[in-house]
C-alpha cells in the first residue's frame, strides 16, 4: 500500500515550458487535491476533485489545469511555466473533505 505517490520528485523548467505533474493514490479515496507550498505562505489549494469526473478551482488556480483521469489519478499541468510557479507541489487524497493524506511532493524550479 503506497498511499499517495507523485512524479517527478524534482524538476527544473525554463520559462514558457510546459509539464505535467502526476499523482496517484491506492486508498480508493474519492477526493483528490493539488497544493503548492511556499515559504511564509503555507499550503494553498490550487485545484481539487471531489469525485471522479469533477474538478474545481481552489485558492490559486491561475496558470494551472488539472485532469482527474480516473479514481486513482489526478494530474496537474503547467501550460507555460513562469518563475512565480517555482514551489513545492503536494498532492493529497481523502475519503470526503476532512482528513487528507499527502504525497511526498514535487520540487519545481522555473528559471
Partner 1 sequence: QKEVEQDPGPLSVPEGAIVSLNCTYSNSAFQYFMWYRQYSRKGPELLMYTYSSGNKEDGRFTAQVDKSSKYISLFIRDSQPSDSATYLCAMTGWDGGSQGNLIFGKGTKLSVKP
CB of 43 to partner 1, least distance (A): 4
Can you read off the three cell numbers belonging to residue 93?
A: 487524497
Widest Cα–Cα separation across the chain = 37
Residue 107: how many other CB atoms lie within 10 Å: 13
Residues 31-60 binding partner 1 (CB under 8 A) are 33, 40-43, 45, 48, 56, 58
Whichever of 58 and 63 has its CB closer to partner 1, that residue is 58
- Spatial separation of the C-alpha atoms in residues 22 and 93, rounded to whole Å: 13
CB of 90 to partner 1, least distance (A): 6
Kindly state the helix (H) or strand (E) to which residue 10 belongs, with its residue range. strand 10-13
Q: Would you say 94 and 64 are in contact if contact means Cβ atoms under 8 Å apart?
A: no
Please tell me whether residue 101 binds partner 1 under the rule CB under 8 A.
yes
Whichever of 13 and 32 has its CB closer to partner 1, that residue is 32
Residues that bind partner 1 (CB under 8 A): 4, 33, 40-43, 45, 48, 56, 58, 90, 96-105
Amino acid at each position: 500500500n503506497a498511499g499517495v505517490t507523485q512524479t517527478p520528485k524534482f524538476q527544473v523548467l525554463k520559462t514558457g515550458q510546459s509539464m505535467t505533474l502526476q499523482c496517484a493514490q491506492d486508498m480508493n479515496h474519492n477526493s483528490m487535491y493539488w497544493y503548492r507550498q511556499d515559504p511564509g505562505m503555507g499550503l494553498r489549494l490550487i485545484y481539487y476533485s471531489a469525485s471522479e469526473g469533477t474538478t474545481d478551482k481552489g485558492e490559486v488556480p491561475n496558470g494551472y489545469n488539472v485532469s482527474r483521469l480516473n479514481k486513482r489519478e489526478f494530474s496537474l499541468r503547467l501550460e507555460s511555466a513562469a518563475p512565480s510557479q517555482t514551489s513545492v507541489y503536494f498532492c493529497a487524497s481523502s475519503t470526503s473533505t476532512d482528513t487528507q493524506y499527502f504525497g511526498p511532493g514535487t520540487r519545481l524550479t522555473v528559471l
